[in-house]
Structure 1
Amino acid sequence: MKAPSAAPAIRRRMLVICPFPIGVAAGQRLKYEQYFDRWRANGYDIDVSSFMDEAMWAVVYEKGRYAQKVAGTLRGHMRRLRDILRIARYDVVYVFMWVTPFGTSLFERLTRRLAKRLVLDVEDNVLLGQSLPKEHNPNPIVRWLKGPGKIRHLIAKADHVITSSPFLNDFCLGINENRAATYISSSIDTDRFAPSGPKPADRPITIGWTGTFSSMPFLALLDDVFLKLAARRTFRLRVIGNFDYALPGVDLEIVRWTKEKEVEDLQELDIGVYPLPINDWVLGKSGLKAIQYMAFGLPCVATEVGTTPLLITHDQNGLLVRTDEEWLAALERLIDDAALRARLGGAARAAAVAHYSLQAVGDDYDRVLSSVFKDKR
């Protein structure tokens, strides 16, 4: 990773305000978190304040456990009260998504007022209060409590906004008072996220998907496709996540995601799938799953919507589809043709290293951080 030859003479203090503990959520781990060492080398002393602590993270996606979840939410708000009292000591505050998950925009307004400089990092149109599919949050009271005005206020008032897609970037440019928004792609440590060696010839072709409980409805979009495919081809479906999933009639393997085995579990795949609904909401998606598959040298089949056509060139480094029939045909092609898997996977790996590695994307973050000190409010 590129870094200065000597530590800068002037050290700056940065407070990172984020939803999840360090090292557990893909949206944080494979975004800004992996640049902390780079930023420290560039002269920043970094403190991280996550709303959710490890105890709450351990239960947040489990059914029930309401007492622990309420207690965790209260602890999170206490941390935010502490943050409000110390924000003025920092040279820059870096907010990922929101300051608090529920309620009015009070904490966001206080953070903006007290921060000398504020960088906001946003992803997905849900954070803008746009139309969120109900399956992500079926409780209307909870949807209301999430306060869509929170994120919009920060977008308008931030010194600079970092976005997860060009479509989201255009939206933020339209309401940011400084006209300062930059699309920065999700990125991957391509030295760590790398292809494995040859796989045993007698194992079934493994199609894989990785994600969390919140993205499980996207996986379910392919239930019918997998059932039809199972009647026509032999394959194994590997689902790597933090939830239970069943699909009778399909050779299914459920793998609980862990940070320690993440690379090993993904290296077992032969094909990666990235299904998405075709609607305006997904225009804010960064395409992180596709980039992960590409880094491992896997041919990725993805829904042709939003950011995916920017990442994948059809039949060159992956396959783009829109209908169930196209999904079925694409997966059959890849199962039947080892040479096609190798060609697409090799091109995908090359694209990931060239465009989505830490080395390729790190300079974009450096430019944003430099800009907020040059263009002081």
Structure 2
Amino acid sequence: MGIKKIFFVCPYPFDEAPSQRFRFEQYLSILEKAGYKYQLAPFLNLKAWNILYKSGNSIQKLFWIMISFIKRFLLLFQLQSYEFIFIHREASPIGPPFFEWAVRFIWKKKIIYDFDDAIWLEDPSEIGSLKASMKWKSKVKSICKWSYKVSCGNEYLAQFARNFSKQVVLNPTTIDTDYHKELKNSNTRKISIGWTGTHSTLPYLKPLIPVLDKLSLEYDFELLVISNQKPDFAVNCMRFIQWDKSSEIEDLNQINIGVMPLSDDIWSQGKCGFKLLQYMAIKKPVVASPVGVNTKIINESQAGFLAETEKEWIAGISKLLANPELRNDLGNKGRSYIKDYYSVQSNKNTFLSLFG
């Protein structure tokens, strides 16, 4: 029997996007040790990625999008020797699933379809827009039907996929606990309530502003925001750190309390709780909205508090601000839980089973 080969088809350049890094990129060395060969094919190259979400540069953006579609088409002629085609989210961000259809029905390859958000739904900020229609959200159902196996980040996503596929694998987003770990440092700054995420999730943080304003009347703390884009809102106690891969663990370790507010809607139900996993992996206690998998993670780990109302947010954060021993205790519980249930090592066999 020959060596099994996997082609990873993904939206973003290698080692740039959290969804790719924590869904499959951190498993590549494990695949190699298991005897697999692989190749990666991002839709966007690094030049396109660096300008796509910035204002202006419309002609350059159009040029790189056209180049990306041409490369996707040419990729169809490079798949012959590959047994598995692993598609993360989608082969292209707009248009119908022509690539996926060709892979399944022309090349007759085994598609592993992976997603960690409710990507069949329109983004809340784009509902009814031309941009939303161009994304062709209905293709998610078709790709699920065509796939050999569907890899879903949580049970909510898996329930959707089971309507179209009998081979659905609950494959949680995981953390490399050798990389994500607590660092002992001599940071003498005031206590930090921390939030990390991309520009697209920054709006979830806005409703927490009144909570922080009230807490600041009694406690001395800062709001530490780590993101690829500076927030478009102001908080008196906020400190911003530009996300940087080379310093992300050091930056995260400046957080004392991790927060994950979410709106309670069908889009948020599909979230995989990744912010919580990051905080807990480095022994930080958490406070989060009881939405989707957040409830499961906090109830099972006992690493923090669920908060829905303003009163509950104030109560949960206050307990942690006032009690360093409690922060330490809950942080230790969180780290143990991540290692047991949401680490690369604990999920290794599940990931490898996608190719069995």
Kindly provide the CA deviation profile for residues 9-35 of structure 1, in whole angstroms up to 9, marking residues without a partner as x: 731121100000110111111121100
Q: Which amino acid aligns with 2:238?
A: L
Q: Which residue of 145, 160, 168 maps to 2:134?
A: 145
Determine the structure 2 residue equivalent to 1:123: 116
Cα drift, residue 247 of structure 1 = 4.5
Determine the structure 1 residue equivalent to 2:184: 197
5 Å-filtered alignment, 1:255-334, equals 255-313=241-299, 316-334=302-320
| Consecutive unaligned residues in structure 1, runs of 5 or more | 1-8, 371-377
Residue 14 (structure 1) aligned with residue 6 (structure 2):
yes
Q: Which residue of 230, 246, 266 maps to 1:244?
A: 230
Q: Secondary structure at the match of 1:190?
A: coil
Determine the structure 1 residue equivalent to 2:23: 31
Kindly provide the CA deviation profile for residues 68-115 of structure 1, in whole angstroms up to 9, marking residues without a partner as x: 221221121111011112223311100000011111222231232224
5 Å-filtered alignment, 1:1-377, equals 10-113=2-105, 114-125=107-118, 127-128=119-120, 130-134=121-125, 137=126, 140-176=129-165, 179-197=166-184, 199-200=186-187, 202-313=188-299, 316-370=302-356
For the Cα contact (< 8 Å) 1:87–1:115, is it kept in 2?
no
Distance 1:221 1:66 in 2: 33
Cα drift, residue 369 of structure 1 = 1.1
For the Cα contact (< 8 Å) 1:230–1:250, is it kept in 2?
no
Cα drift, residue 59 of structure 1 = 1.3
Q: Which amino acid aligns with 2:124?
A: P
For the Cα contact (< 8 Å) 1:206–1:268, is it kept in 2?
yes
**Distance change (3 Å), C-alpha of 1:188 and 1:107:** same
**Distance change (3 Å), C-alpha of 1:194 and 1:252:** same
Q: Which amino acid aligns with 1:119?
A: I
Q: Secondary structure at the match of 2:246?
A: coil
Kindly provide the CA deviation profile for residues 232-283 of structure 1, in whole angstroms up to 9, marking residues without a partner as x: 3211111111112154452211111111011110011101111111112222
Q: TM-score, normalised by structure 1?
A: 0.90
For the Cα contact (< 8 Å) 1:123–1:163, is it kept in 2?
yes
Tell me whether 202-211 or 223-232 shows the greater mean CA deviation: 223-232
Q: TM-score, normalised by structure 2?
A: 0.95
Q: Which amino acid aligns with 1:85?
A: F
CA RMSD of aligned residues (A): 1.7
Distance 1:100 1:11 in 2: 28
For the Cα contact (< 8 Å) 1:165–1:185, is it kept in 2?
yes
The total of aligned residue pairs comes to 355
**Which 4+ residue blocks in structure 1 deviate beyond 3 angstroms?**
246-249
